[in-house]
Amino acid sequence: MGSEDLVCARCSGLVIEGRCPTCRASREYLRRNSVTISPQLILAIIAIVMMLAALAVRHAT
């Protein structure tokens, strides 16, 4: 379930639309606290894991 599916209890509108002050506050809270992972970070993590695996294999033999 994404934030675009949330319904406001105050105005019964979608939170993502920001119809009332409660919707807008909730929308901003969700945007500030969401975690975004860039593709560069994912590639860096994969590269590090691959290097560690190669070192482990080399050390085991």
Q: What is the model's pLDDT at position 2? A: 66
Distance CA 13, CA 15 (A): 6
- pLDDT range class, residue 7, cuts 50, 70, 90: very high
Average pLDDT over residues 24-31: 90
Whole-model pTM: value is 0.50
Average pLDDT along the chain: 89
Distance CA 33, CA 36 (A): 10
The ranges assigned to domains in the chain are: 3-60
